[in-house]
A and B are shown apart, each in its own frame.
Chain A
Amino acid sequence: MHAVLAPSFTSADFWAIAPVTFLVFCGLAVLLLDAFFPRREHEWLAYLSIASLLLTGALASWLQGCASREALSGMLLTDPLSHFAVLTLLVAAALSCISSLGYLREMRADRAEYYGLLLLCTAGAMLMVQAGDLVMIFLGLETMSIALYVLVAMRPDNRLSTEASLKYFLLGAFTSALLLFGMALVYGGSGGQTNLGEILATLQSSSAGTSPVVLIAGAILVLLGFLFKVAVVPFHMWAPDVYLGAPTNVTAFMATGVKAAAFVVLLRLVGLSSAMTVFRGHLADVLWVLAALSMTVGNLVALQQTSVKRMLAYSSITHAGYMLVGVLTFLTSSGELATRGTGSVLFYLVAYVLMNLGAFGVVALLGREGEEGDNLQCFKGLSRNRPLVALAMAVLMFSLAGIPPSAGFMGKFYLFAAGLKAGYVWLVVLALLNSAISVFYYLRVVMLMYMQQPEGEYRKAETCQVCASCGLALTSLGVVLLGILPGGFLHYALESARSLLP
């Protein structure tokens, strides 16, 4: 084997995979530490995990300065977009670790495996967003997904949790098969390429031995795999069940970190597809319909929910629809406008990650003695029992509804402004109408918290909630900060987006 690896494995390659490797080692270390030093409570492992996530982020940022744009002969991309996505992922993972403090113990699901698997899942997602090759994408995706299947089933005594895990596993396997089939078609259609850059070059030169129809069929199936991961209608049906059944902190990571990673890969794939001029327009038509469906269906069903977790699940489908507007802008325009499309998606992703981590964090905070606190009833009169938590939740709900000055508002503004500029007037009108509808179910939570009396006695948590509350404060402050001072961050997002353009 070393004969194959040795000539091409340079020190630059080593540094490029160093952050992921470090995180994998940390994940394994957490698992082993529990085996050697078993304790009844595992919070120390949570702190260890948060520290290793932050260290990975620091390492990645430090190495970013000296890295070239790709490594491992094109398998791994280390461009600004990768870096942006990696940091977003790590923040999402760290924040969901924080929200698990206390929650897991309340849920009688305090296991060391949770932390180890979360780190491995994050490592898989990191590989996926950095991948420059179809094989690497698949590898990352599976590493991430397999860890997730187990994470969803973290409460084996809970029927919903096991059911959710099984459903997610079955449908995930199903789409993985489609994805793999699509990759095979692309490989065949492009004349034996799996590297994204080389596929692009083939497309642009349209050399002999390529078959456009096979390539397009393959591209459709690959895209489909990721449309499933980001939960776009009609590939969304797993999301509400899985989000509801999974432990809240896992849901938080799935709805934010995993979704962000999938969106970044989707952007790379869409960028590739836009090089196929015959396919571009038709893909845009399909994405248009999917965006419109996602926004509308997600919203209409979210209106009906009595569980906040399920409501957030449907609303995440809606938000995926909004983000598709930016993806569409990227797909069908060129130059600065395409960058604006991608940049607005990246900005919105971060806003969305913060908002949802916060909102799920609040739900996690309300869980008591093995019972989830996700019913709307739990929010009645919360402003009297937990004024600060209620305030944070109100900020997050306003932001999710897109009311200024919040990250959600600025994100929507950038997305829709780019969409309008690219000519998607009716889609933007539909998105705005949907935003108006969504205000109803977001503000219902605020209304319950502030305008109703609490029902029954307020049960104090058995565990300390200081750290989880700090995480909550961080997210809601971030949401407000991004709403007031979006300029610098938007600039960063646009710079990262630029690396998607040739």
Chain B
Amino acid sequence: MHSVSYLQYIPLFPLLGALLCAVLGPRLKPAAVGALATVMVGASFAVSVAAFFEVRSGHQALQTVLYTWNALGGLTVDVGFLFDQLSAVMALVVTGVSTLIHLYSIGYIAHDRSPWRFFSYLNLFVFSMALLILGNNLLVMFVGWEGVGLCSYLLIGFWYDGWMKEPGGQRGMANSVAGMKAFVVNRIGDFGFLLAIFLIVVTFLPKVADGRVLDFAVLRALMEGGIPSGIGLGIITTICLLLFVGATGKSAQLPLYVWLPDAMAGPTPVSALIHAATMVTAGVYMVARMSFFYIQSPTAQLVVAGVGAATALFAATIGLVQRDIKKVLAYSTVSQLGYMFIGVGMCAYSAGVFHLTTHAFFKALLFLGAGSVIHGMHEEQDIYRMGGLKKYMPLTYWTFLVATIAIAGIWPFAGFFSKDEILWQAFNYHNEVFPEAGRVIWAVGLTGALLTAFYMFRLVALTFWGPERFHEVLHGKHPHESPWTMTLPLTVLAVLSFGAGWLAMPHIWGPNLFHHWLEPAVAALPPVGGHHSGPGLEWGLMILSMGIAGLGIASAMGFYRQDAPLPTRMKAAFPGLYRVLYQKYYVDELYDTAVIRPLVSVSRGFLWKFFDVNVIDGTVNGLASAVRLCGMALRRLQTGLVHTYAYFIVLGALAFVFYVMMMLSKGL
């Protein structure tokens, strides 16, 4: 580990930006605030690039310890940053994509009431995210983890007095409610994360001499030669599962995914940055960061990969029928996060993190494209009221198409490489607890890929192709292409979505650079003997998944080509299925009935009306008046007369002497 003195600048610049935007912002022009925020994040990107090259040339991780946060009780925590191969990938993706999205936001948010508030929050988010990915121990990571949660809440409810629009035009959920929902659901996950931290401290503190038990390097060294003696596998599995509870909250996996679709209430750049490219991948990053725990526990691997696979399929089916352009993308994000968890769950960390990287590019691009469409369509989000936009917004269309092909997994776009690597690893994965797990997950993943290709091309077909259905909404106005600050990021991201895949070629084609890069930073499973699959099989599986994707695309194009009657007929043929999917399996309703409503009614009827009013308020008010009475009585003693005071001194002295002497005489 090499010590350097500049890593703190990666989080520091955005923090400074957030403060400056908050203090000076109201007096500056919107464009100036935006430029300031963008420059700050850009500076942080530049530092990350410099650090990346130093890691590359030195072949070792960098570390900066700012100071030691000394807590009593044996626990020592450094406020320090770690820049190893894994955090390098995250830092480049986060700061890079953030810079592009900040640039995009300048145009997007220009006409808002308070752009400075927007940029201040956005910079604060980058600061927290940098803490999360660069922290060299679990506590700094947790501070960042909470920070991004807070920023997410603030930004979802950015238009706090507004409502979401349901397709069809009626009022949906209030933005502030969507923010609260995200915050509360995340809190459930955070609770798991906290418990995991506590459990780690309790379990490992006796084994660490200097108390730096939350430090990643220390923990990794402890786990290097297998589980240390005296600690059971059960504890390790529990730690892994509790950490994963945190991950399901932040990364929107079953059963805590429900907040993400509603998080679309926030401005679209926020959806692109926080709810697609960066924050929601924090759970994936955390599992990869704690890889040395996960490789020890087959049960935990099975749970992570299983939940990932289930989420991937489940969310994809919901995405098939949604009408709101951002909702489709939101479910797609949930589904793709599922793929990442399949990867990291099976200890194929480079595959999972690589999918995280490519997904950051193409999903950010899709959201920014959607934002451009919404901007051009004067805030309309219902894809049934779009169509034919290709003609009006060519650049948006072409970049959107690139991202769509990438996410569908067509060679040679980036998504093909990353998704195929995950499926290939799944096919070869061997789990002691459930040996067939790999094949099952592979099959589920492949089905998900079919659905992904279908719903994405449905989205393109309904938005950009076909007849123009927007005339009644726009009242004669025309959709327009967005300004260059918005289309430039689209272009850059399109190039990345197209070309980034070559960094991780399947090994039958050439070196997997990404895998080699990440190798020192993550733990690896020992190779399983007698499980060699030939290149023929790998070729076969690749062609199969391409074929599946092609099938999805072809059927989407067939279904939604100009005025095809097929979707309507399908809807009529299976009305029940359609409704279940459109209503998202009624999960929100289920949670509402099973959890929220009982909770609210108990809180309101018992906790508030009875317990709070009578018991707590009664106690507090009673105590307060008792305290006040005591105070009044004591105040009487303060007569202002010197001799009273002297009496008290004498009385106190006498009591003191008397007590001690009495006790002494008893003892003697």
Contacts and interface: CB of A to CB of B under 8 A. Distances in A.
Interface in B249-298: none
Interface string A459-502: 00000000000000000000000000111101100000000000
A282 interface: yes
A487 B627 CA distance: 37
A279 interface: yes
A445 B115 CA distance: 34
Contact of A240 (B638, B657, B663): B638
Interface string B72-96: 1100000000000000000000000
B583 interface: no
A415 to B, nearest CB: 11
Nearest to A233: B652
Nearest to A298: B634
Interface stretch (A62-70, A85-93, A166-174, A380-388): A166-174
B67 A235 contact: no
B57 interface: no
Interface in B618-668: 627-628, 630-632, 634-635, 637-638, 640, 642, 644-646, 648-649, 651-653, 656-657, 659-661, 663-664, 667
Interface stretch (A47-55, A72-80, A300-308): A300-308
A486 B70 contact: yes
Contacts of A234: 648-649, 651-652
Contacts of B627: 300, 303, 437
Given A224-B653, A301-B631, A487-B70, A171 B664 contact: no
B646 A171 contact: yes
Given A217-B657, A297-B634, A303 B642 contact: no
A169 B634 CA distance: 24
Nearest to A182: B653
Contacts of A240: 638
A414 B73 CA distance: 10
B533 interface: no
A224 B650 CA distance: 10
A405 to B, nearest CB: 11
Contact of B659 (A224, A282, A413, A437): A282
Contacts of B484: none
Contacts of A491: 70
A61 B364 CA distance: 59
B645 A171 contact: yes
Nearest to A302: B631
A235 B667 contact: no
A175 B651 CA distance: 13
- Name the residue in B73, B627, B630, B649 with the highest tally of chain A Cβ atoms < 10 Å from its Cβ: B649
Nearest to A216: B660
A213 interface: yes
B642 A279 contact: no
Interface in A253-274: none
Contacts of A235: 648-649, 652
Contacts of B586: none
A213 B648 CA distance: 24
A31 interface: no
A283 to B, nearest CB: 7
Given A234-B652, A487-B70, A282 B645 contact: no
B68 interface: yes
Interface residues of B, number: 33
A171 B660 contact: no
B69 interface: yes
Contacts, number: 96
A166 B656 CA distance: 27
A220 B637 CA distance: 25
Contacts of B628: 303-304
Nearest to B659: A286
B660 A220 contact: yes
Contacts of A171: 642, 645-646, 649
Interface string A160-181: 0000001100110011001000
Contacts of A300: 627, 630-631, 634
Contact of A237 (B70, B631, B638, B664): B638
A391 to B, nearest CB: 13
A157 interface: no
A220 B656 contact: yes
A487 B631 contact: no
Nearest to B633: A300
Contacts of A348: none
Contacts of B651: 234
Contacts of B661: 213, 216-217
A283 B660 contact: yes
A407 interface: no
Contacts of B72: 340, 413-414, 417-418
Interface string A184-220: 0000000000000000000000000000010011001
Contacts of A178: 649, 653
B660 A241 contact: no
Nearest to B652: A234
Nearest to A224: B653
A328 interface: no
Nearest to A297: B634
Contact of A174 (B649, B652, B657, B663): B649
Contacts of A278: 664, 667
B649 A304 contact: no
Contacts of A304: 628, 631-632, 635
Nearest to B630: A300
A217 B630 CA distance: 33
A282 B660 contact: yes
B649 A175 contact: yes
A171 B659 CA distance: 24
A285 interface: yes
B625 to A, nearest CB: 11
A286 to B, nearest CB: 6
Contacts of B653: 178, 220-221, 224
Contacts of B638: 237, 240-241, 301
- Name the residue in B644, B656, B659, B664 with the highest tally of chain A Cβ atoms < 10 Å from its Cβ: B656
B665 to A, nearest CB: 9
A235 B654 CA distance: 12
A360 interface: no
- Name the residue in A234, A279, A281, A286 with the highest tally of chain B Cβ atoms < 10 Å from its Cβ: A234
Contact of B660 (A166, A174, A279, A437): A279
Contacts of B657: 217, 220-221
Contacts of B640: 241
Nearest to B76: A487
Contacts of B646: 170-171, 174
B70 A282 contact: no
Contacts of A167: 642, 645
Given A300-B630, A303-B627, A490 B70 contact: yes
B261 to A, nearest CB: 36
A259 B624 CA distance: 30
B635 A237 contact: no
A94 to B, nearest CB: 27
A300 B624 CA distance: 10
A276 B61 CA distance: 56
Interface in A414-436: 414, 417-418
Contacts of B68: 487
B645 A237 contact: yes
Interface of A: 166-167, 170-171, 174-175, 178, 213, 216-217, 220-221, 224, 228, 234-235, 237-238, 240-241, 278-279, 281-283, 285-286, 297, 300-301, 303-304, 340, 413-414, 417-418, 437, 485-488, 490-491
Q: Give 4 closest A-B pairs by Cβ, nearest first.
A: A487-B70, A237-B645, A234-B652, A300-B631
14 contacts: A167-B645, A171-B642, A234-B652, A237-B637, A237-B644, A282-B659, A282-B663, A286-B656, A301-B631, A304-B632, A417-B72, A418-B72, A487-B67, A488-B67
Given A237-B648, A241-B638, A487-B70, 5 more contacts: A221-B653, A224-B652, A286-B656, A286-B660, A417-B73
